[in-house]
Amino acid sequence: MKHQLLYSMLRQEAGYAVGCTEPAMVALAAAKAVEILEQEPERLKVVVSPAIYKNARAVGIPNTKGKGLNLAAAIGAVVGDASRGLCIFDGLEPDKEKKAQWMVANNAVEVSCNWEETGVYARAEAIKGKESAEVVLKGSHKLFRTIRKNGILTMPGYKDINRDEELVPLELLKEVSYFELLNMVFKLDTEELAYLEKGARDIAEFAQQVLAQKQPSLAGLGPAYQDIISEGIIGNDLLRTVRILTSTAVSERMAGVVYPVLTSTGSGNNGILVGIPLAVLIDFLQPPREKAVLAVALAHFTNMYIKAFSGKVSPLCGAVTGGAGVAAAACWLLGGNLDAIGHAVEIVLANISLMICDGAKISCAYKLGTAAEEAVIAALMASKGNYLDAYQGVVMADVDETIKMVGHLAAKGLHDIDYLLLSQADNVKKKLS
């Protein structure tokens, strides 16, 4: 595998987003459809996979007091500028929000879930009279599969409209072993990777600002943690700092804060998880800058590698794969060799591998906070030679086989989770209405 391929994959999977990436993806699809239609639509039709529906239905949308796919799609249509990418909610003017709310209230937006689709998938169709435009995003949050106008295919093939680059599937990472990937990452140009460490430091600083009440809190979780610390109920050591900062940042993002977050595998929450613990640990250990940058890259690529087996959006919570990334990078910062790094990953996977994804919402903050703290503990244990024995639970003969096992669990053992969660939520909604 060539290094240039890794750079392309990184640019694809680690970019900035404002708000949860699933509703942002739907808004992006709607915006592109309106661009292709070249006129204001009368109505929108949106179809998404169960995974996208699950992650977008209950999360706050920045610059609004609303939630849900209908509003996200309407905002995309009103903004009508796909060049904003996953930052499409940033700078949303009040008059455009009002217009989007009007579209939703007047049933101009229709959203449905296609149970035949899996992973990252969204289709948006903008309609005006007999004119229509349809776009499909698939495989990654910003990558268009097809574009049609009035039923005529105008753009086939995977392409990121904003960068004019072809999709680099994460599945390509399966061609190499985990340790082979790490050895390639260690040889990458740190100047090309520097933005990853900056993204980690920026989001850690944002969380600190919320805790210090210099930044208003939408979720209230950070200030609540600060009160508990002030009361002396819990301490404020490195592990607690990692947990609290991570939880604070995730809770604000899920509440709809307007703040750009560097994603990992297209997920802002994963970006927070692989970023904040390492920013804290780097400040504590003070490694050379090149090592600090490579550590953050190592976390991103570990997250990407495991998701190549488990899926980018799947029944498995991203806290599992992101936590493994943190453990790997932290272990390396602590002086661990490749063998120790592999064991650190295994400890995290053995610990939290069956944490399910039940959709994007405020409670993700607790799950990712748990993963952040447990990942650092795993790194500390592995760096001191405290390993798990093979063939116990999900731990197989080596880290590669363990990662494959977790992938099998996500694909086969948890494959009904989305259906059970969404059908139960719909039943409850019907009873309450």
Extents of the domains making up the chain: 17-166, 170-420
Query: Residue 2: pLDDT band by 50, 70, 90 thresholds?
Result: confident
Structure tokens given for 74: 């309407």
pLDDT of 132 higher than 90: yes
pLDDT of 158 higher than 70: no
pLDDT of residue 422: 86
Contacts of 291 (CB under 8 A, 6+ apart): 333
- Tell me the pLDDT tens digit for each residue of 322-365: 999 999 999 999 999 999 999 999 999 999 998 999 999 999 99
Query: Residue 156: pLDDT band by 50, 70, 90 thresholds?
Result: low
Burial of 179 (0-12, 13-18, 19+ CB in 10 A): middle
pTM of the model: 0.94
Torsion of CA 376, 381, 385, 390, to 10 degrees: -100
- Tell me the pLDDT tens digit for each residue of 44-54: 999 999 999 99
User: Can you name the CATH fold of 17-166?
Assistant: 60s Ribosomal Protein L30; Chain: A; (3.30.1330)
Query: Residue 432: pLDDT band by 50, 70, 90 thresholds?
Result: very low
Contacts of 83 (CB under 8 A, 6+ apart): 161, 162
- Tell me the pLDDT tens digit for each residue of 62-78: 999 999 999 999 999 99
pLDDT of residue 135: 96
Mean pLDDT of 411-418: 86
Cα–Cα distance, 77 to 385 (Å, whole number): 55
pLDDT of residue 433: 40
pLDDT of residue 43: 97
Cα–Cα distance, 167 to 151 (Å, whole number): 24
pLDDT of 430 higher than 80: no
The CATH architecture annotation of domain 170-420 reads Orthogonal Bundle (1.10)
Q: Cα–chain-centroid distance for residue 166?
A: 20
- Tell me the pLDDT tens digit for each residue of 257-285: 999 999 999 999 999 999 999 999 999 99
pLDDT of 288 higher than 50: yes
Query: Residue 415: pLDDT band by 50, 70, 90 thresholds?
Result: confident
CB atoms within 10 A of CB 386: 13
pLDDT of 431 higher than 60: no
Within 47-116, residue ranges assigned H as helices are 50-56, 69-79, 94-105
